[in-house]
Amino acid sequence: MWSFAKRRLLPALVLVIIGGVAGAQLHSYVSPDDAIDQFKKLKQAFVLISGKYVEPVSAGNLAESGVKGMLNDLDPHSTYIPAKEAKRTRDRYRGSFGGIGIRFDILNDTARVVSPLAGGPSEEAGIMAGDRIVKIEDSTAIGLSNTGIRKRLTGKIGTEVTFTVYRPLSEKNFTFTIERGEIPLYSVHSSYMIDERTGYIDVGRFAKSTPEEFLSKVDTLKTEGMERLVVDLRGNPGGVMESAVKIADEMLGTAGQTIVETKGRSARINQTLRAQGGGALAGQPITVLVDGNSASASEILAGALQDHDRGLLVGRRTFGKGLVQKPYRLNDGSFLQLTVGRYYTPVGRLIQTPYEKGNMKQYYKDKFANRRDAIYNVSKYKESIPDSLTYTTEHGRTVFGGGGILPDYVVKPDTTSLSGFLRRSEVDRLFALAAREWFSQHDKQLRSTWQGRKQEFLSTYEVPDEAVSSFWSYVQDNGVLTLTTTPDSVDAGDQVYLKANADDAHALVRPHLKGFLANTLFGRGAGRPLLNRVDPAVQKAMTLWPSSKELAGYHASAGAVQND
């Protein structure tokens, strides 16, 4: 009964202890007598600790610890959001916030403007990529963290903020006073035509604005000749479920098709969301890229397309986060992000990876243990799934439950060679960091040469040998891998590779560095076309269009299917 009591008490606990709730309100949360007795015990313990403990204690900290302790005994994804973080969390889901409109990173303890957002207050005021933020209002900005810079620059829409930048190109300081505006948090990171027929859209997360962004990109790509589409959901942690449902609806051409089902204790949670029909992408061949960091709303979209045989999934098994969560506001402005239900795909698969309440350590241990089989030994992984978790799609294909969505085609990374190591998606972050370090040393030269010349940079810039050497030094200095001249010392398991093979890997290093340099110069997503040329999942997907077209053929009545 203890776990039962906690589930019923979560939204009420802090309200009663700190602010007080009338007896009638309390009974609406906790009706069983045992639950009320357990609540009284919690209240007594709080009063005793706050009043009798040998040293003074913070009532707020004590209440927060109690809430977090209760959540720890539930599922892996119910969370507590402190009041100071609540606004930023809401902004992320809403898709906009009040700010000055820049992308920045921290380099050598100083915030550097990566790019002003198009049409935002900073672009209109004349802020330039490469500017260093050295002062905000009357205080230095040097040494502040990402969070510190963000807190001081963002604020209520319509208010002003004054800050000073150092501009390396002119070696001068400039002071700006900018009125904060509503800044969109774009969730579509990149879109372009891979070839004359194939569009590509990278959806980084799902916010309320995502469907509008997505459809805008689709319209643009169609004008450029798009006949088939790659949707990249790799690394997408989810977000607003309704946005994923709307995008699925644009691909499922038949009205009434189930997109996702939610089940919980409340009748209001039990619902089936269905397609309206006649979407913008009905009938076009679609390939969806997923990986182990595709979660929640990403899995809803991927699962719906797979169950209806609508799109071909390529990559790696998704994360397995299929819990319906609802925010409950507490009296101090903090929130409980509380699990109230579970997501199921159209054929009945539970997206959530199994878990034992309160045992988070074992949950993640089991999750990552079978993830390896789902990547490197797919046949063994499928054989380990019981018949009760084996399902049949709308047109007779076999799909699997047990947590996450297993793609139709698994792209297994090469773990035996240096080039294979560099192709792993986890290494992308290393290229980004190495490119940023190189950029910091050549910032003025690169910007003076390439500022405002994105297409020329992408087509003509050659990464110098010095930058490639800098990359090898960076990954070795940071303990990522070791290059050896002794063949007997090679050990791929410990990331020890033959130095002579580094030359063969330059064909991978150069486009990666150039891609991330493009992101630094021109904004996030600018280098994606370059990166995709050496991305194993993208390259494999481009060979699988016959399978995607076959699936699209099942939905031909909803829209024209293109010929090969």
| Res 361 pLDDT > 90 | no
| 3-state DSSP helix/strand/coil % of the chain, to nearest 5 | 45, 20, 35
511 compared with 87, residue with greater pLDDT: 511
Of 80-84, 141-145, 245-249, 340-344, where does mean pLDDT reach its minimum? 80-84
Q: What is the structure's pLDDT at 449? A: 93
b/e map 83-118, b = 16+ CB within 10 Å: eeebeeeebbeebbbbbbbbebeeeeebbbbbbbbe
pTM, two decimals, is 0.80
541 vs 182 pLDDT, higher one = 541
Least confident of 18-22, 364-368, 423-427: 18-22
Asked if 300 contacts 343 with a C-beta cutoff of 8 angstroms, the reply is: yes
Is it the case that residue 14 has pLDDT exceeding 70? no
Say if residue 457's pLDDT is above 90: yes
Q: Which of 32-41, 295-304, 434-443 has the lowest mean pLDDT?
A: 32-41
Among the residue ranges 46-60, 412-426, 480-494, 528-542, the one predicted with the least confidence is: 412-426
Pairing of strands 132-136, 160-167: antiparallel
For the chain, list the domains and their CATH numbers: 2-73 (no CATH), 96-184 (2.30.42.10), 190-328+341-410 (3.90.226.10), 418-533 (no CATH)
Which of the residues are catalytic?
Answer: 296, 307, 321
Q: What percent of the chain has pLDDT over 70?
A: 89
For residues 295 and 91, the model is more confident at: 295
Please tell me which residue, 516 or 124, carries the higher pLDDT value: 516
- Residue 546's pLDDT is 97
For 93-121, what is the mean pLDDT?
A: 75
pLDDT digits (tens, 9 = 90+) for 470-494: 999 988 887 888 888 888 888 888 8
**Nearby residues of 555 by Cβ (< 8 Å), 6 or more positions away:** 252, 253, 254, 282, 283, 308, 310
Q: Residue 33: what pLDDT?
A: 63
The answer to whether 237 touches 296, Cβ cutoff 8 Å, is yes
Who's near 235: CB < 8 A, 6+ residues apart? 204, 291, 293, 294
Residue 88's alpha-carbon distances to 83, 84, 147, 156, in angstroms, are 10, 8, 11, 12
Q: What is the pLDDT of residues 122-174, one digit of tens each?
A: 877 888 777 899 999 989 999 888 878 988 898 888 889 999 999 876 678 89
According to the model, what pLDDT value does residue 170 have?
A: 66
150 vs 101, 105, 126, 155, CA distance in Å?
Answer: 11, 11, 19, 9
For residue 5, name the pLDDT band (cuts at 50, 70, 90).
Answer: very low
Helix (H) or strand (E) holding 328: strand 323-329
> Given this model, what pLDDT does residue 74 score?
86
Question: Cβ-count burial of 458 within 10 angstroms (0-12 exposed, 13-18 middle, 19+ buried)?
Answer: middle
In sequence order, the β-bridge partners of residue 497 are 483
530 has pLDDT over 90? yes
One DSSP character per residue, 49-81 reads HHHHSSS---HHHHHHHHHHHHHTTS-SS-EEE
Q: What is the DSSP secondary-structure string of 382-447?
A: HHHS-GGGEEE-TTS-EEE-SSS---SEE-PPP-SSHHHHHHSGGGHHHHHHHHHHHHHHSHHHHH
Q: Average pLDDT for residues 223-238, to the nearest whole number?
A: 95
Higher pLDDT, 253 or 514: 514
The structure tokens 């006073």 sit at 177
Which residues have CB under 8 Å from 420's CB, separation 6+? 413, 414
State the average pLDDT over residues 516-545.
92
What pLDDT is recorded for position 18?
Answer: 36
pLDDT for residue 196 is more than 60 = yes
Closest CA to 42 of 14, 71, 82: 14
Residue 32, pLDDT score: 58
Q: Is the pLDDT of residue 506 over 90?
A: no
- Give the least confident one: 28-37, 66-75, 101-110, 187-196: 28-37
- Nearest CA among 463, 460, 472 for reference residue 502: 472
